[in-house]
Amino acid sequence: MSNQYLRQQAEQSQRFLSARFYRQAGMSSIGLVTSIALGLLLLTCTLKMLPAYIQNWNVQSVLDSVLTEHLERATPLTKAEIRSRINKRLNINQITVLTSKQIDIEKTAEAYTVIADYEVRESLFSNIDVVMKFDNSVSLPFSRQK
């Protein structure tokens, strides 16, 4: 009788475990809706923020190209020439997040430091905004080591 009792208990626990696993076979509808909502939120954030990051990469490439041109010249660029070349490149690349007047050019003892600090505010939903801060800089040395 004890063997039969143990066998019945084993069969009952096996049926219980089998039924339990079959009931929990998939995602609930609330979980599915939550996953879709989070996916849409991530997609919206990506689509709103990606253009600002692409323009920031273009701003940094403008500063790098001015540095390259500065290093290739026999004489260093002046502050006005630097601003003019940056303005031309910003117009050519259709960069709209900042103007050449928003770029600071500081003169130190050994170099011009060109600083492009700016922020972009992008609206996600009705009153929810994303603020992205960018800090680009390049140093244009006066003397060249050859």
Domain-located, residue 126: yes
| Residue at 75: amino acid letter | T
Q: Can you tell me the mean pLDDT for 119-138?
A: 93
pLDDT of residue 20: 54
* Low-confidence winner among 22-36, 63-77, 131-145 (lowest mean pLDDT): 22-36
pLDDT greater than 60 at residue 86: yes
Domains: count for the chain: 1
Q: Can you tell me the mean pLDDT for 59-88?
A: 90
Domain-located, residue 89: yes
C-alpha to C-alpha distance for 118 and 103, rounded to whole angstroms? 9
pLDDT greater than 90 at residue 53: yes
pLDDT of residue 73: 85
Domain-located, residue 146: no
* Structure tokens belonging to residue 82: 């630097």
Domain that holds residue 37: 2-141
C-alpha to C-alpha distance for 111 and 105, rounded to whole angstroms? 10
Domain-located, residue 73: yes
